[in-house]
Amino acid sequence: MTANRIRFAVIGLGWVAQARHIPAIRRNPGFELIGVVDRSEGRAQRLAQRLGVARHARAESVAEVSWLAEAD
């Protein structure tokens, strides 16, 4: 099933992302959370570690995230 999963990156790690979007993505077996992005490097790194997600970035713009093309 892994090949058919939709790959997501969550950009902006405020309350809604952490309490609603990320849990919904992780509950759905058809989705895969591949990374998180936030303006705060510390927040992105801590959340990625807590979730076991390999990719994280601190960015002011999505154009700054080199691995974002890996997301669907």
Which phi-psi region, left, alpha or beta, contains residue 29 (left: φ > 0; alpha: ψ -120 to 50)? alpha
Alpha helices in 1-72 (DSSP H): 15-16, 22-27, 41-51
> Counting every residue, how long is the chain?
72
Query: Hey, what are 57's tokens?
Result: 């970035």
pLDDT in tens, the chain (72 residues): 456 899 999 999 999 999 999 999 999 999 999 999 999 989 999 999 999 999 999 999 999 999 999 999
- Confidence (pLDDT) at 64: 94
- Confidence (pLDDT) at 41: 83
